[in-house]
Amino acid sequence: MVNRAVLAHRLFTGLSRSHLACLVEELAEPWQARVEGRRHAARGGARKRAAGAGASHQLVFVDRLVATLIHLRHDLPHSVLGLLFGVDRSTVTRAIGEVRTLLAERGCAVPDRPGLRLRTLTDVFAYAQAEGVELRLDATEIQVRRPPASRGGRRAFVSGKKKQNTMKATVIADWRGRTLWTDALRPGRMHDATAARNEGIAVCFRHFPDVEVLLDDGYLGLSRDHRGQAITPPRKPRPGALPGRVEQWERDRHGHSSDRITVEHALADHKRWKQLTRWTHRRDRLPDTYRAIASLVSDRTATT
């Protein structure tokens, strides 16, 4: 059995020890409350023995958190983690399922606002309008396993861009590439603009008229519907345009790309976690996994 201090090292978890300590302090009570809630439901009433009586957890909360972080960072199989921590594979599976949900529900950290978290698209737009932040929005695709031949809806996951079975995540970042929000993932066949509309971005534009969002060419429909707020690259001049007009278009397009590139950096930070390079598990667990990783990445970048 490996030393627990070694497994908690940054090379395994992707987090510093101070960040890990903050996570333990933040999540220990919600995890214990959920455990007691399940026990209360199983008993059908209040406990009859004193607190602390009965069998103890084979895997304490700190070990559960560390095992989950290693799984997210390196995609180690549950059986391997069980061997490292000296427990059965099923114990690790339950632990990861519990902690991953807690991480996903945290939301994203607010820069320079300790303790505040952004959990919905409305939260992000309200923060952007209050602080005068110009947002950057983009989508990324993660390859997933192909649905079985006997199951309906197989074509919904086939990406027209990648020609693979994927799921699509929409991410919002600020001018420094700090992750502010990510949505519930959509099938890869869905258009980028459609995914954003399904999350209610049109309502947010209407209620927060001062917020500007930089987008790429995939969101031209949003740009037409919300002029002055959804900002896409300038359109290329028609053939035969004056050289000065073409040069101005190139400068404007380059400036827009330079301003928007920070959201690409945010997506790259997410993809450093191995589970998001290619998803090989059940597709219904990917949304929680992505939100959990986004929350962890936002913690690290909130103060930079």
Q: What's 139's DSSP letter? A: E
Residue 148 confidence (pLDDT): 81
Which parts of 44-60 fold into alpha helices (H)? none
270 has a pLDDT exceeding 70 = yes
Residue 229 near residue 222 (C-beta atoms within 8 A): no
pTM, two decimals, is: 0.90
Number of other CB atoms surrounding residue 236 within 10 Å: 11
Element (H, E) at 176: none
State the Rg of the chain over Cα.
22
Pick 255 or 3 by higher pLDDT: 255
DSSP-derived 3-state class of residue 43: helix
Residue whose tokens read 């945290």: 106
304 has a pLDDT exceeding 60 = no
Give the separation between CA 189 and CA 163, rounded to whole angstroms: 9
Instruction: Kindly state the average pLDDT of the residues 266-275.
Output: 94
Q: What is the 3-state secondary structure (H, E, C) of 192-248?
A: HHHHHHHCCHHHHHHHCCCCCEECCHHHHHHHHHCCCCEECCCCCCCCCCCHHHHHH
Give the separation between CA 269 and CA 177, rounded to whole angstroms: 9
CA atoms lying within 13 Å on the CB side of residue 2:
16
pLDDT tens-digit series, residues 118-172: 999 999 999 999 999 999 999 999 999 888 877 777 788 888 888 889 999 999 9
pLDDT tens-digit series, residues 200-214: 999 999 999 999 999
52 has a pLDDT exceeding 90 = no
DSSP-derived 3-state class of residue 170: strand
Using a 10 angstrom Cβ sphere, with 0-12 exposed, 13-18 middle and 19 or more buried, the burial of residue 151 is exposed
pLDDT tens-digit series, residues 171-206: 999 999 999 999 889 999 999 999 999 999 999 999
Residue 123 near residue 181 (C-beta atoms within 8 A): yes
pLDDT tens-digit series, residues 61-91: 999 999 999 999 999 999 999 999 999 999 9
Instruction: Kindly state the average pLDDT of the residues 267-287.
Output: 93
Q: How far is CA 195 from the centre of its chain?
A: 15
Residue 251 near residue 236 (C-beta atoms within 8 A): no
Instruction: Kindly state the average pLDDT of the residues 222-251.
Output: 91
Give the separation between CA 156 and CA 187, rounded to whole angstroms: 6
Residue 147 near residue 282 (C-beta atoms within 8 A): no
